[in-house]
Structure 1
Amino acid sequence: MSDNARAKLPLSLPTSLPSGLHARGRGAGSNACGRFEATRREVFDDGWDLTLEARVLRTEVRQETPRSALRRNTSPDIAFDRSINPYRGCEHGCIYCFARPTHAYLNLSPGLDFETRLIARPGLGAVLERELRKPGYSAAPVAIGTNTDPYQPIEAEYRVMRELLEVLAAFRHPVTIVTKGALIERDLDLLAPMAAQGLLHVGISITTLDDGLSRKLEPRAPRPARRLQVIARLAEAGVPVRVMVAPVVPGLTDAETEAILTAARDAGARAASWIMLRLPREVSALFRDWLATHYPDRAARVMGRVRDLHGGQDYDPQWGQRMRGQGVWADLAAQRFDRATRRLGLDGKLAPLRRDLFAPPPRPGDQLSLGL
């Protein structure tokens, strides 16, 4: 991020919210300072006892001028080596989101700031095009949506994901998309032809089929039934869809594994995957506070199971274990998932994406081949 863009970042909210300001429809219940902040802001009662008109905490968006699009990945337990992030922060507000700690690098809180102080990156498509035209660039599937959701609500206005898809389609570049957002249906005019060429996979994340639980866990994401409709619409258009049972929250959502897989298969999903709940850095405290607020009777049980999965800790970042956990509960979860996917015919993999079609489209003024 440029110094100019960083200077325009929205100011972090106070650690505690002022009286009269409501965080209705948000996942986090607090706004603890990020780990890199040198100062913190607190609400202070000056004794005047002035009444404030009740108001709801609004989403604020700032724009960044992007200097790069492709982000390289070398993690040994992840299948892709490059990704793109159209946005920083995510309005869906999923309390379990492992990307929340990235907001600390912006001197913003992984709590409420992460879901209310967002950064959009318009112009990212043009930056991507420059990178794809570099001599020696070799195409491989690019992952979008692995950090924050590219189809979160602000995409309707900023259309950064649409920019990226237009470039990727023109270059015939393979891409995988992960989302909860129903706005992906807007882009079927681009997605369907890419899928027909073998250039596209889509993963739709479903954590629970329970509307009440979903509204608490992921307050501004589409309802579970709406996500099943998205799977159906994508499948009808010929887009290969993988349902992602993610995250599995032990003691809270794990009992729904078979039901989620069955509903997704019936909607048209061709494959499935799962990830155990991950609580890195600040996410752990946020999630524990959330449990104490919404499910105090289950909090000890849920966190006890989480620690059983991670060697007695809230989270173990070891490669190969961080997304599954270890021990008897991890083994049982894996066996349960494997049996269900075999029974439902979801245990296969989606066909590999094509790389051989990649070709930068000609630009005005380019010398064309004579075709000899």
Structure 2
Amino acid sequence: MKFDCVIAGAGPSACACALILRQAGLSVCLVAPESEVESEFSVGESLPGAAIALLNRMGIRCLSDILSPLQVSACTGNASSWGSNIWHRNDAVQNPQGGGWHIDRTAFNRALINYVEQSGVMRFKSKLANAMFDSSWKISLENTTAVLDSRFLLDATGRASVVSRLVGFKKQYIDSQTAVVAWLESAKDDKEQLTRIKAVHDGWWYSARLPILSKNGLPVRVVAKFSLPKTAKQTNHEAQFLDELNESNLLPVRWHGKQMLAPLQLKDASVSRLVQFSDAQKGFLAIGDAVLSFDPLSSQGMFFALYSGVKAAENVLFNHDKLNNDFTDYDRTIESVFHANQKSRKLYYASEHRFADSAFWRTKFA
């Protein structure tokens, strides 16, 4: 089967890219197993206000086009205990683009996939098994004899960068940390619409109330602790996690095991990048977390996924009718985003000076 573009992955970056290419008349195929879309709880629920321009570029006027009112709620700002024990609040009204939204990430993923498929993008619910370039990409899939032929191949497989590694790209790790993530049933009177972060001796905590309800009709809150991988493994036990959460004073209530809605998830939250972002000669591009993985502290993961998907689509369209591809614009854009994000990340971590003897914080100043 022949396509103009094959994209490995089915997350926001893949969907953003596929939608724009399809709207321009290109034949597009997504390759991703069902497990990439179907899950009860998914990490990554913050969408900044600036993302609406990217959604518009994809043909989505507003979040209500794809999500119900019970799947999205406004973020009114953030509260942080960082650099001191005092809580500081930044209201969304201070941001010209607004505070953004908290979303039901699983519902968002499903909605994007449905929107993409309705636009005419084909999807194979399989894993990419191999990809060889010989004037065009010849792509084989697991558990099927189908071979896809495509001029362009894009890697949107997330932090694993599966296809990029397959074609020989190297990955660079800048900073190592791991998140232990929990979803908890909160109290009926939990109506907070803030994002909370709090620095502690061995890492930092994050929490937000999600726009979903538990089976008991109560609010659901995501809570995550970020620390060095060894520390995270020690925290990755329900009793230990709850003890540390209660001791942290991240939230003004105590939590117990009966409020846990799912097993804890251990997630890589390292900062990493590919050494190269594209191969113009072969028509290959990496997008989203596959090309750059940001520190979750920046809350830019979802935005960058959409942004890189849009930029990649624009570069593919620019090169579609040319004999020789030129991805210079894409490479420069991604490099610029990386350096700007790194600068902001280092400045923010440097503002926390209370834990100079901590192994975690020493890694942030290295």
TM-score tier (shorter): under 0.3
Structure with higher strand content: 2
